[in-house]
Chain A
Amino acid sequence: MRVSSGILLIAALVAIAATMPTPPIRFREVATQVGISFVLENNPTDRKHMIETMPGGIAVFDFDGDGRPDIYFTNGAEIPSLEKSAPKFHNRLYRNQGNMTFRDVTDEAGVAGAGYSMGAAAADYDNDGHSDLFVAGVNRNTLYRNPGNGRFEDVTTRAGIKSGDWAVAAGWFDYDRDGKLDLWVVHYAKWSPAYDRFCGDQARGIRIYCHPKYFEGLASTLYRNRGDGTFEDVSARAGIAQTAGRGMSLAFADYDNDGFPDVFVTNDNMPNFLFHNKGNGTFEEVGLLAGTALRDHGKAVASMGVEFRDYDNDGLPDAFVTALAGETYPLFRNAGKGVFFDGTYQSKLGSLSVKHSGWGLGVFDFNNDGWKDIFTANAHVNDRVELFEPAIYREKNSVFVNENGVFRDVSDQAGMTLAAAHRGAAFGDFNGDGKLDAVISSLGEKAELWENISPEPQHWLILRLRGTKSNREGIGAKIRIGKQYNEMTTATGYASSSDWGVHFGVGSTTLVKTVEIQWPGGAKQVLTDVRTDQVLQVTEP
């Protein structure tokens, strides 16, 4: 009789779980009221230079160490000079003053930048406790060191960082696990302002951005951190210098759980790259065999942003990619043993995304129910697409809620009302309420800050790691809470960066039984009975 009751109780609980409504996700747009007035000046010209349609990377990071995430926007420049000839082209740093207010501190921080900027990557590369910043741009990159006094130092040349190619995105990771963060820079293609191919319909006089096929792709560059403030270009030695693509963005995860972080690079109208870290300082591009190069139909798509996170709580990082209307936002589900399957259809993401075009994205648990949801910054690449295709240029953003590994479009209910030429997206908890907010850039328009106002009181936990043997921020650390799995990374979506810790939504749980942390330096750490609804600082043992 007792057994029967137990079975009945379990059955009842299962039934409740199956029918429990997913906690709603709600956002409201607050950029102007919180003091953010940034406009992404892409400087569109009649000549339709390809670079004009591609900027917009954002970095969310706590540059002043006050525990509140700040926001850095990259910006365009004059064409053809590629100079920031006026303040409107400056990159902008907004300091989070608390109480959800921001102040533009660009000038005092010395980060207005130079050239036509595209992407941003924040992390503490010199392990001094202050997040530094790399800005990728068209033929011009910048590395800013953060000495912790509120003003950044441009150390590009001294550090040995090169310019000269069109870099779109970059990311920090410790590929050789020596405790020092290395830098991976993704390049798009060979381009100069002199490039003047006419693409479009000459008879109708309609000029559009050229198809990517007209641009010769470039390989990524890997900089190894020597630990003395300088970097060494090890691309050739690492075996990546000959693998040219039209790179758009990147994400890191140890997809095969061999202890070394691997790199997913999206390519525009070319197969994506999956660089498997062989653990000996070299990489092997395995996208085709692993099943991440292409969707199941075998044709390359215009892959834009990428996230490498576990959405189905099976402990394996999966890869999400944004692309253009008609292509879907591909989802490569990690089946283990180094193999991925196209999960776009099974997750319902295919039918939900097929009409959208996307750039930035974030795969985070926005309603804190224990399942990672998706936020995408939508817009087409071609501002005249409506003349040629049944697609829309300026789009509203999308929010897809995760219901046990299957997604549902809740964009309307979530308050996604603004159509724009969205590009970059970065994420952080700006007001400290445990609900992740989103910041989005748009070509020629004001940035958007979407405050997460999801109504259900779900619980959460943010871990801020402090490496001792490992890199200071614990980038690459693997964290498990129950079935949930995250890796510490700052690389986000499209050409962007989110550096504030690792977020978990835990639903109704107020006390997490165990938090398991596998540090990149090798140490394993288990925390028990951890109170939720806090930002927990964890130091590597």
Chain B
Amino acid sequence: MLSALYFSAIAGGLLHADDPAAKSQRAKELMASGRFDQAIPIYKELIAAMPGNPGLLLNLGLAEHMAGHEKESVPLFEAVLKTQPKLLPALMSLGAARLALKQPELAVGPLQKAVAAEPANPDARGMLADALNGAARFDQAAEQYRKLTELVGNDPRAWYGLGMTYQAMAANAFDRLQKRDPQSPYVAALIADTRVQRHQYKSAFFFYNQALKDLPGIHGVHAALAEVYRKTGHPEWATAEAAKEQSLPPADCAAHAAECQFVAGHDLQAVTLPRTGPATPEALYWRAKAANELSLQSLVRLGQLPPSMELHEVRAEIARDQNQHLEAAKEWRAALELAPGNPRLQHELAVSYFLAADYRAALAEAEKALHRDPRSPEMNFTAGDSWLRLEEPEKAVPFLRAALAADSGMRAADASLGLSLSRLGKFAEAAPHLEKALELDDDGSLHYQLARAYQASGNQAKAQTAMTRYQELQKKVADQKEEAAREAQILPPQ
């Protein structure tokens, strides 16, 4: 799209005739052949000769932007917009640069102007929707995506964006709800919904029942519970539970407007929060439910289009959510076939391979990603930890050190490096890394590793303390499992 912007800038006659023709022509050729870095000094020379020329400033800005120098491009676009505030290529390029710099809030302004200047431009609207979504302005983002689906109904990116925005809206509503009242029965009901999505029916059963203790008249939960019974092979119990749903009186729409809207299938209304006063847990609950429903509808539309990168992404994310990491990897691979070399997809593929415990494949993908971005802490960690799990700690160490050099707070890399160094017999060097990683220790294993490192380096007192802590954490985990097992019983309807 940015190439198109460049050529439209040229076509718009923004290059001045008094530029030295040869230089201008050369810069143009370099841009056309993708050698943006080489075009930059030529444009700088031309600007030095003709300071303030907006066409040249725009071209230099585009060259910087397309060469990946986002910070350098921003002041150039801003300079152009001072003299030509409605120039579409400058507005869109500034928006794109701000998005690339992960400054979506700052991208919104220029992109809104671009959309105002050309309402039927799908690129401008798509970028605006992305920016609004990135800035967590979900209602506005959804509105822009909806308009985009009207403009380009066959473009999978529009439906994907809409679906993801509603998903983000639902997650945001859940977070707000949880912060406001973590013990709320509405929280329990939403947790149960996510457990159903992950096929964790026993856990879903527990949380639905928790919700029903305080909200016996809420609509939808008995029906969801009936579905849990069906999925777990209890059709008679499912029928009884479904009957309870049927026997619920209609909600009082004056007191529970969102519930009424949702039950009536008016999701766009249910998703809207009251304009005045703080959102109640109940309003946030129905917003989350409605947003999920709207997300699902968008993604169903996406599924009706021919296979696309976006469709495979959605499938991959669903599979990942359900802990089906091999399936997720298959979808990321399919997405990559439609968008070869896409760095984000490669990253996700590496992560899915890693989560699927296919460390050889994870390593291969991480190394590809590192070729492009050698400092990526996540990919260095993925590569390093994969080598460790393949029992080659000597190969893990350089990657893990690189991960920590890029992100010194990456405790998982500390843990992995600590174990790698222990395996290499460097116990004294391992201990500080394991100490740093202890905050991650939810099962005692890091304390165990630390105890062995202390023991091997002759520090028996510290070894004893760490081993005691290991045993305490193990006991805690065992107690939690026992409690979870008690919770996990699926019982007949009361």
B391 within 8 A of A: yes
- In the assembled complex, the Cα of A488 lies from the Cα of B89 at a distance in Å of 85
Judge whether A390 and B231 touch: CB under 8 Å: no
Please give, as numbers and ranges, the residues of chain B lying within 8 Å of A298 by CB-CB distance: 443-449, 452, 470
A288 to B199, CA, bound (A): 36
Distance, CA A291 to CA B455, complexed state (A): 10
A132 to B231, CA, bound (A): 52
Residues of B within 8 A of A346 (CB): 425
Q: Name the contact of A389 in the complex, choosing from B201, B233, B357, B361 (C-beta under 8 A).
A: B357
Q: Is the CB of A390 within 8 A of B358?
A: yes
A323–chain B nearest beta-carbon distance, Å: 13
Q: A270 vs B229: C-alpha distance in the bound complex, in angstroms?
A: 32
**Chain B residues near A289 (CB, 8 Å)?**
467
CB neighbours of A203 from chain B (8 A): 199, 231
Residue of A nearest to B232 (CB): A202
Minimal Cβ-Cβ distance residue in B for A325:
B357
Expressed in whole angstroms, the minimum distance between the Cβ of B97 and any Cβ of chain A is 41
**Contact among B324, B389, B422, B470 with A354 in the assembled complex (CB-CB below 8 Å):** B389
Contact residues of B: prevailing secondary structure: helix
Give the distance in Å from the alpha carbon of A341 to the alpha carbon of B457 in the complex.
Answer: 13
Considering the chains assembled together, what is the distance between the CA atoms of A350 and B394 in angstroms?
13
Q: Is A37 an interface residue (CB 8 A)?
A: no
Closest-by-CB residue of B relative to A271 is B474
In-complex Cβ contact of A296 among B233, B422, B447, B471 (8 A): B422
The distance in angstroms between the C-alpha atoms of A294 and B444, with both chains bound, is 12
The residues of A that contact B233 with a CB separation of less than 8 Å are 198, 202
Is residue B111 within 8 Å, beta carbon to beta carbon, of the partner chain? no
Looking at the complex, which one of B199, B201, B231, B445 makes contact with A297 (CB distance below 8 Å)?
Answer: B445
Q: How far is the CB of A497 from chain B (nearest CB, A)?
A: 31
B161 to chain A, nearest CB (A): 28
CB-CB under 8 A from B467, the residues of chain A are 288-289
Q: Is A328 an interface residue (CB 8 A)?
A: yes
Asked if B242 is an interface residue, CB under 8 A from chain A, the answer is: no
Given A202-B231, A296-B423, answer yes or no on A351-B391 (Cβ-Cβ < 8 Å): yes
Task: Map CB proximity to B onto A315-331 as digits: 1 under 8 Å, 0 otherwise.
Answer: 00000000000101000
Indicate if the CB atoms of A328 and B232 lie closer than 8 Å.
no
Residue in chain B with minimal CB distance to A348: B391
Chain B residues with CB under 8 A of A388: 324, 326
Contact pattern, A 444-475, Cβ under 8 Å of B = 1, otherwise 0: 00000000000000000000000000000000
Within 8 A of A (CB), among B378-423: 389-393, 419, 422-423
CB distance from A176 to the nearest CB of B (A): 31
Q: Say yes or no for A201: interface residue by CB 8 A criterion.
A: yes
| Distance of B259 from chain A, by nearest CB (Å) | 28
B residues near A390, Cβ cutoff 8 Å: 326, 356-358, 361
- Chain A residues whose C-beta falls within 8 Å of the C-beta of B428 in the assembled complex: none
Q: Which A residues are in CB contact (< 8 Å) with B231?
A: 202-203
Partner of A345, one of B393, B443, B448: B393
Q: Does A213 contact B (CB under 8 A)?
A: yes
CA distance A294 to B474 in the complex (A): 13
Residue of B nearest to A344 (CB): B391
CA distance A57 to B53 in the complex (A): 86
A390 and B326 CA atoms in complex are apart in Å by 8
Decide if B199 touches A201 in the complex (CB within 8 Å).
yes
Is there an interface contact between B391 and A328, defined as CB atoms closer than 8 Å?
yes
Please count the residue pairs between chain A and chain B whose beta carbons lie under 8 angstroms apart in the complex.
65
Task: State whether B201 touches A202 (Cβ < 8 A).
Answer: yes
Whether B481 sits at the interface, judged by CB under 8 Å, is yes
- Tell me which residues across on chain A come within 8 A of B392, comparing CB atoms: 351
With the chains together, A342 CA to B425 CA distance in Å? 11
CB within 8 Å for A291 and B452 given contacts A296-B423, A390-B326, A390-B357: yes
Please state if A213 and B481 are interface contacts (CB–CB under 8 Å).
yes
| Interface contact A294-B389, CB-CB below 8 Å | no
Give every chain A residue within 8 A of B447 (Cβ-Cβ): 298
User: Which residues from chain A contact B358 at a C-beta distance below 8 Å?
Assistant: 390
CB distance from B457 to the nearest CB of A (A): 12
Task: Report how far A388 CA is from B454 CA in the complex, Å.
Answer: 37
* Nearest CB of B to A536, in Å: 40
> Is B136 located at the chain interface by the 8 A CB criterion?
no
Q: Which residues in A have their C-beta under 8 angstroms from that of B449? A: 296-298
- Cβ of A299 under 8 Å from chain B: yes
| Chain A contacts for B423, CB-based, 8 A | 296, 342, 345
Q: Is B257 an interface residue (CB 8 A)?
A: no
In the bound assembly, the distance between CA atoms of A58 and B323 in angstroms comes to 38
The answer for the CA separation of A289 and B463 in the assembled complex, in Å, is: 10
Closest-by-CB residue of A relative to B423 is A345
A171-198: CB near B (< 8 Å → 1, else 0) gives 0000000000000000000000000001
Residue of B nearest to A289 (CB): B467
The B426-471 residues at the A interface (CB cut-off 8 A) are 443-449, 452, 456, 467, 470-471
Complex formed: what's the CA distance from A297 to B390 in Å? 13
User: Could you tell me the distance between the alpha carbons of A213 and B484 in the complex, rounded to whole angstroms?
Assistant: 12
**A375-418 CB contact bits vs B (8 Å, 1 = yes)?**
00000000000011110000000000000000000000000000
Check A299/B390 contact, CB under 8 A, given A202-B199, A326-B357.
no
In the bound assembly, the distance between CA atoms of A294 and B452 in angstroms comes to: 11
Once the chains bind, are B356 and A389 in contact (CB under 8 Å)? Answer: yes
Determine if B419 and A296 form an interchain contact, defined as CB atoms under 8 angstroms apart: yes
B290 CB to closest chain A CB (Å) equals 25
Inter-chain contacts of B326 with A (CB < 8 A): 387-390
A297–B423 CA distance with the chains assembled, in angstroms: 10
CB distance from B90 to the nearest CB of A (A): 50
Q: In the assembled complex, how far is the CB of residue A525 from the closest CB belonging to chain B, in whole angstroms?
A: 38
- Considering the complex, give the chain B residue whose CB is closest to the CB of A288: B467
Name the distance in Å between A309's Cβ and chain B's nearest Cβ.
22
Q: Give residues 292-316 of A contacting B (CB, 8 Å).
A: 294, 296-299
| 28 pairs, CB–CB < 8 Å, chain A vs chain B | A202-B199, A202-B201, A202-B231, A202-B233, A203-B199, A213-B481, A288-B467, A294-B448, A296-B419, A296-B449, A296-B452, A297-B419, A298-B443, A298-B444, A298-B446, A298-B452, A299-B443, A342-B423, A344-B391, A345-B391, A346-B425, A351-B391, A354-B389, A387-B326, A389-B326, A389-B357, A390-B326, A390-B361
Given A298-B447, A390-B326, 7 more A-B residue pairs with CB atoms under 8 Å apart are A202-B231, A291-B452, A296-B423, A296-B452, A298-B446, A387-B326, A389-B357
